[in-house]
Amino acid sequence: MLLHRYRDVAHALRDPQMQIISGSVDPSTHRAMREQARQLYSQGKIEGWRPAFTATARGLASSLQGEIELVHDFAEPWSLCVAGLVTGIIDPRGLAQAAQSIFAAGASPDDEALRAASHQATLLLSSRFSPADAALHSQAFVALAVSLPAFLGNAWLGLLQNPAQFEWIAEPTAIDELLRYAGPSLRQLRTTTNGERVELRLAEANRDPEQFEHPDQLNLRRRDAATHLAFGGGPYACVGGQLVKAAAAAVLPVFAERFREARLIRSEPYGGSAIRGHRVYVI
């Protein structure tokens, strides 16, 4: 079964009869992880990290000259720094491939080779944390190292294609609208209690005209932007969603300062069936 209308996807995400296909995390464990996340990644801690997020972004942005590919040259290295800072890993660069493997297996749960690679990658990543925090920190690391740069590339492409929207970059609705318009997650998979497989098309739901007026237009002042489904919803909502939003909010003004006048040369989509990203070339 395939669901793509907003109301159907939103209902399915919150339906307790729907179970995730990949992994062994049940709803009660996921609820416990969200509570743990509120402590480890509290609003106070996020505010404490924000100056470092911004300073790192400014330093990296100022070093870039000539033709730049915004994801490879800026978003990916910056996001790895953020992931390391949040999870306490001093040098996170060696774990970038592990994060990619874990994400790929989660996106394609039927692929045995990806599952095997993910198992090894999970052991490697988890070994860098204390046992009590390993599961949560691992999820946060993957979200920040993989999902965040994909989202930033999409968001920046949208802004460069709609430069008038830079005027509203500081609006409180801006990040949620960029997540609605350019979120990287295309789908999530579920099974019903009778074993039926259900594909939830998140990105299509976020462009449903029955839910969002003029859904294919980027509008950073959109009042209902926060109802997006970019992080899923219900018992399996992304535990790293607030971290992704906080990091994006910190880097967005830096991007606007450095690249608002940049000329978009071209963009190239990347990703698979579950994630959407864009390589964005500017000069």
**Cα 213 to the center of its chain, rounded Å:** 24
Tell me the pTM.
Answer: 0.93
pLDDT at residue 165 in the model: 97
pLDDT at 109 over 80: no
pLDDT at 79 over 60: yes
Token digits for 134?
Answer: 């390993």
Cβ atoms of 95 and 89 closer than 8 Å:
yes
Query: How much is the average pLDDT of 142-148?
Result: 94
- Domain span including residue 34: 2-282
**Residue 212 DSSP one-character state:** S
Which of 42-51, 134-143, 157-166, 231-240 is the least confident region?
231-240
Higher pLDDT, 40 or 156: 156
**Residue 275 DSSP one-character state:** B
Query: How much is the average pLDDT of 43-64?
Result: 95
pLDDT at 84 over 60: yes
pLDDT at 22 over 60: no
CATH, residue 194: 1.10.630.10
Q: Structurally, how many domains does the chain consist of? A: 1
Phi, psi angles (nearest 5°) of residue 198:
-125, 130
Condensed to tens digits (0 to 9), the pLDDT of residues 239-283 reads 888 899 999 999 999 999 999 999 999 999 998 888 899 999 999
Cβ atoms of 233 and 36 closer than 8 Å:
no
Condensed to tens digits (0 to 9), the pLDDT of residues 195-211 reads 899 999 999 999 999 99
- Beta-carbon contacts of residue 279 (< 8 Å; ≥ 6 apart): 69, 70, 71, 72, 153, 267, 268, 269, 270
